[in-house]
Copies of this chain bind each other. A is one copy, B any other.
Amino acid sequence: MKLTSDAKGVYVIAPTPFHPDGRIDESSIDRMTDFFVKSGVTGITVLGQLGEAPKMEHAESVGIVKRVLGRFRLPVVVGVSAPGFAAMRALTRDVMDAGAAGVMIAPPNTLRTDDAIAQYYRQAADAIGADVPFVIQDYPLTFSVKITPAVIRRIVTENPSCVMLKHEDWPGLEKISQLRAWERDGAMRPISILTGNNALFLDFEMERGADGANTGYCFPDMLVDVVRLSKEGKRDAAHDLFDAHLPLIRYEQQPGPGLAVRKYVLMRRGAIASDTLRKPGAPLTALARAEVDYLLARLAKHDPRARL
């Protein structure tokens, strides 16, 4: 089952569960995978930035993917961003052989100029093979690379194997509108647009034409609901649910502590056994943990899933 440009719904970004001593917690991978299925997601992305991918050795990375594939019957996308094409190709080969649906590629943060970005994706597509569907990760806040709509269109046009945009530019609403306008005009081949950036703008992104979310907020079940409500045209209901979660979404979106927040809540929800981050990641301070508890308590008044 390969990833296609028809992908919709919520592709959850999976964290990597660790034991308190830093070893990979395989039984939590299973538990978390089941939790995501129950949440209603339509796919999963492993080894993204917030999957702590750079902290994994190659064999560990492949092991995680195989573990997820052994249990999850929906498409699995694997982050394969790497400083060189050799490592990218090696990981892609191993995970596609194991049954992954496609890969996600972020631009290296040294890229400048439109040509350099377009060339990078041509070379990457060539390195991984034209038969491997790939996702562009467009996250300038983290990668310091600005990709204009015109460059996205160019990448899509030059690489038939590009099927999805993980859209997390900020601000990014007009970008979605522009890409969808080009698709309507026939100026660009249609692709799947799933949005990230911890869902901070998911409410309006859906209205601008996104196909869903590709992020790892600790309530993926809420993301599923907002995407569904929005597609059903229940605008107010979508916003009501979204707004109830926004204080926590915002808190979790912080770079650095954000991942610790996410793992802490997933642990409290029973999806993983420990909220450990592999070094050099730092745990939440006591003060931050108390703030998250307070946010959960407030959220519980609006969403029973937050009653923990």
Which residues of B are found within 8 Å of A46, using beta-carbon distances?
none
Which residues of B are found within 8 Å of A54, using beta-carbon distances?
82-84, 86-87
How many copies of this kind of chain does the complex include? 4
A243 within 8 Å of B (CB atoms)? yes
Which residues of B are found within 8 Å of A247, using beta-carbon distances?
203, 239, 243, 246
Query: A residues 189-215 with Cβ under 8 Å of B?
Result: 200-201, 203-204, 207-208
Q: Residue on B with the closest CB to A246?
A: B246
A160 within 8 Å of B (CB atoms)? no
Query: A residues 262-308 with Cβ under 8 Å of B?
Result: 279-280, 285, 287-288, 291, 298
Nearest first, the 3 closest Cβ-Cβ pairs linking A and B are A54-B84, A171-B254, A112-B146
Measured as residues with beta carbon below 8 angstroms from the partner, the interface class of chain A is 35 or more
Q: Residue on B with the closest CB to A236?
A: B298
B239 touches A298 (CB 8 A): yes
Which residues of B are found within 8 Å of A86, using beta-carbon distances?
54-57, 60
A300: min CB distance to chain B, Å: 13
Which residues of B are found within 8 Å of A285, using beta-carbon distances?
174, 177
CB < 8 Å neighbour of A174 from B236, B255, B288: B288
For the complex, give the distance between the alpha carbons of A77 and B163 in Å.
Answer: 43
Q: Residue on B with the closest CB to A290?
A: B207
A157 within 8 Å of B (CB atoms)? no
B83 touches A256 (CB 8 A): no
